[in-house]
Amino acid sequence: MAVDNQELEVFYDEGCVVYEAVWGEHMHSGYFDAGNTRDFRAAQIRMLEELLAWAGVPDDEQSRPRNILDVGCGFGGTSRYLSNKYSANVTGIALSKYEIGRARAIAKAEGVCDKVAFQVADALSLPFEDNQYDLVWCMECADHIADKLKLMQEMTRVAKPGGWVVLTGWCHREFTHGETSLKKHELKILDKVRAAYLLPPWCQTSDYKVIAIDAGLQGVKVEDWTRHMLPFWGLLTAEIFTLRGAFKILTSGWAHLRASISLAYHFSYMDKGFKTGVFKYAVVMGKKDKK
């Protein structure tokens, strides 16, 4: 399924009221363990902290990132979080004009416009010069992009020498020896999710290591964190049916109510995909050569 930027922009522009009501300000998965199995909003923050620690991004005064690019920033929750954590200047980009409008409005309301800026831009053609950012961050945006090598090359291009490139993405399971495709029942689950979210073909987690190295990154690490986010989609589905979530959606109009019902249906497929092992959650990091 080919997806162009205009389709994707419309998809998010029309659905953002629902997404913000359900996901909150952080439009990404959460990190769970035995100590936090119910609070998915706390788990979203935990995901950020665990990912930064795993990637080795320092937070000391001497070495912390000063300039950060958030690729696929959504409503800007992660951009604002990273800016606050590191006292950094953060630029967030997304295709959706609605998302960028909301991100700017929230930043203005919180009084952080001097540190955080947002603009509509294409991740495959970043409107920035080379060697600009200490940290280039891309959380669950790569899933919408077919040319993942081009995405990684662009992220690497705008990173400073010695800077970090960090990415997370949804993948399908690894092929076993001799396999070239998922099984029919696995493809059925994947195809429903791809159609619902306008997603191009997925890759395996291991493919990201090859992609990151081919893009010129050094010290590349890739891991499967599926076990850490398994409760997420079930909890997200339940959020739609809470009094708070239902009120926000019902008062946002019939179109958004229909979108919510559709999301709940497809969330169940996401939940099934991850819990049966068909879907995987990949985390990726590398550093740009200092030369």
d(CA 107, CA 100): 10
Q: What are the boundaries of each domain within the chain?
A: 5-288
CA–CA dist 266, 59 (Å, integer): 38
For the stretch 94-145, pLDDT in tens is 988 888 999 999 999 999 999 999 999 999 999 999 999 999 999 999 998 9
Distance CA 138, CA 123 (A): 9
**Is the C-alpha dihedral spanning 185, 143, 113, 81 positive or negative?**
positive
Give me the mean pLDDT over the 29-38 stretch.
Answer: 80
Contact by Cβ (8 Å): 150, 242: no
pTM: 0.89
Mean pLDDT of the chain: 87
Calpha distance 197→62 (Å, rounded): 41
CATH superfamily name and code, 5-288: Vaccinia Virus protein VP39 (3.40.50.150)
pLDDT at 242: 63
Residue 271 corresponds to which tokens in the numbers above?
A: 């939940």
Are 245 and 21 in contact, with CB atoms under 8 Å apart? Answer: yes
> What is the predicted pLDDT for the residue at 8?
55
Rounded Cα–Cα distance for residues 237 and 261 (Å): 10
Residues 56-94: pLDDT tens digits?
Answer: 999 999 999 999 999 999 999 999 999 999 999 999 999
